[in-house]
Every structure is written in structure tokens, then in C-alpha cells.
Structure 1
């Protein structure tokens, strides 16, 4: 029996997608970072703070945020977030935006959905006439660092991010938009 490739659809998310995005946020964050937390209550508190449906709904409605949602055969499998006019301590240019999130469920990574989400996000950033886009990636997330490097992002600095008592080191990367 021949394996059928799923039908992939990507579109800009709306407030009605907040439940999907909140759940995707929790699951993909666990898949990527869950093993780094010794205190699971800290992780649970972070989910409630960051990935509540209300928080995502409010974030979607902010004019500086644009979300995309990805589906494979109508199943929500990933999302991305672009934050417009988002400054970085490592970039002096004021006309910049931030690729804040691209998360795909682990089982769907091989379908190149992250690449498709990134392309949609970069296209929108160019349409809005931004000069540069930046992002932060966990220093030990080799898969993501390689993905962004292959797509033209260059390392511009390091910074820390605190969740509960845990401190995480991140790499900031940027790309010129043409």
C-alpha cells in the first residue's frame, strides 16, 4: 500500500484558532523543552501563564502580532507567530520584526511544515517593508539552529531567559529581508 502524503494547509490564524494554538503550544513546548525542567509544577505554571486560551486570544487580537496555523489533513499540527516592530538589543535598526515562534508537533516535522510556515512569515514581513527579522533559539536546540542557519539567519548574540528558578541560554539570530 502506497503511503499518502497529507494535504498541508497553512493560513493566518484568527481568534477561533486560539484553542488549537494553546494546545499546540503546550504539547510542542513539552516535546522540545519538557525534559529540561526538574520541577514539573514550574512547567505547568508556565503553560497556564503562556498558553492559556485567553492569553492566546488576546495575543492574536493585538495589531503587532500575526499568527499562522498549519493543518495536515485538517488536523492542527503547528503554528507560527510574527511580532511586528519588535526591537532587539543586538540590532540598531528600528525597522525590525521578530519571528517569535515556529512550533510543529514532532510527528509532523518530516513534512517540512516549519519551512512553509517560515516562508509565509518571511513573505508577510517583506510585504510590511521590514528591513530585518530576528529570533531567539535555545542554545542546545541544534535542530532549530541548523534550520535557521540553512535559511540565512546569522548569530548576533546570546541572552538568558528565566522560567521559575530555571535559567536558559538562548542564541539571538537575524536575517536581512530583501
Structure 2
């Protein structure tokens, strides 16, 4: 395996974010959801307008993991009003750590998480938080290993299906 490089993403990376977002979300969740629900979610969540708006929001931060010239994962962080919930000025939300299935087990997620931690510290945040689907055992294990603890739940709607996300946070020193 070549070394993985993490780069801050900008508007020039819009198509890359769309493509890797669609691919990784599908790889992770397609088996557990209807084809129709997946299609709608992917069209809405990764539309050019939505991704453009997120990439140009000064309170959102994107990073792409590259293996040579191939994107293999990405990270989306939110602070302030860009956060999906809480909107606590002392926190940073990890909205997405998405890694291609081909690169699972190769520490790409850990490198992206380390970038989240570094960003939170550089922004003087007190804690990191996120929501993760209660049935995504791989992700739950990853976050617990990195010191996250559950503090609540929220509902994530995919199509007509209400799914429970566990809310998790990690206090920073």
C-alpha cells in the first residue's frame, strides 16, 4: 500500500467529494436500505448545489484521503451553525468519516480521525461529537476505541425508515 496523504478540500474538489460520498455511503448502507431510499438520499445529499453550499460554508471543513492520485476517503467537520445538531461553539462535529471499502483496515479512517482531532485542537474546541447508526458496528467499535462515549440518540431518516443514531462525544484535554 502506498502512503496516504490527507489534504484540505475546497470547491475544486466538489466532484471528488460527490463521487466518493456516493460510493462509500452505498458500500456501507445499501444492503440495509431499499434501493429507492438510497437513490433519493444520494441524489439529495450529494447534489451539486448541496455539496457546493457545504464546501463554501466557512464553518465546514473537508479533507480528502489520497492514495497517490486516487481519493480513498474523506472527512467532513462542522463548527458553529454548520453543525447538524447541538450547535455548541465549544464543539466540533464529525459529520462524516467515509472510507472506500477497498481501504477498510488500512488505517485511512484513523488518519482522517487524527485530522479531525488536530482541527478541533487548532480551533480550541472542548470536545468532538458525532452521530453514528446504532447498527454500524464497525464505526461504533472505531469511535469507542478512540475514546468516544455515548450521550444520547437522535433519529436519522432514510426514505420512509426512521433509524436510530447514537450520539457520541469525546472531551479534549
TM-score per shorter chain, which class?
over 0.9
Aligned to 1:31: 27
For structure 2, the 5+ residue unaligned runs are none
The number of aligned residues is 171
Moved more, 157-166 or 10-19: 157-166
SS of residue paired to 2:31: helix
Aligned-partner Cα distance in 1 for 2:152–2:21: 26
Aligned-partner Cα distance in 2 for 1:8–1:157: 34
Aligned to 2:3: 7
Alignment map for 1:44-63 (pairs within 5 Å): 44-63=39-58
Aligned to 1:71: 66
Aligned to 1:98: 93
**TM-score w.r.t. structure 2 length?**
0.93
Residue 87 of structure 1: how far off its partner (Å):
7.2
Q: Verify: 1:111 aligned to 2:103, yes or no.
A: no
Moved more, 18-27 or 52-61: 52-61
Aligned-partner Cα distance in 2 for 1:16–1:119: 24
Alignment map for 1:75-154 (pairs within 5 Å): 75-85=70-80, 86=83, 88=85, 94-154=89-149
Aligned-partner Cα distance in 2 for 1:8–1:37: 31
Task: Summarize the Cα distance change of 1:87–1:52 in structure 2 as closer, same or farther, 3 Å threshold.
Answer: closer
RMSD, aligned α-carbons:
1.6
Aligned-partner Cα distance in 2 for 1:27–1:87: 22
Aligned-partner Cα distance in 2 for 1:169–1:114: 22
**Alignment check: 8 A CA contact 1:87 1:97 kept:** no
Aligned to 1:17: 13
Aligned to 1:170: 165
Residue 146 of structure 1: how far off its partner (Å):
0.7
- CA radius of gyration, larger in: 1
**Alignment check: 8 A CA contact 2:5 2:65 kept:** yes
**TM-score w.r.t. structure 1 length?**
0.90
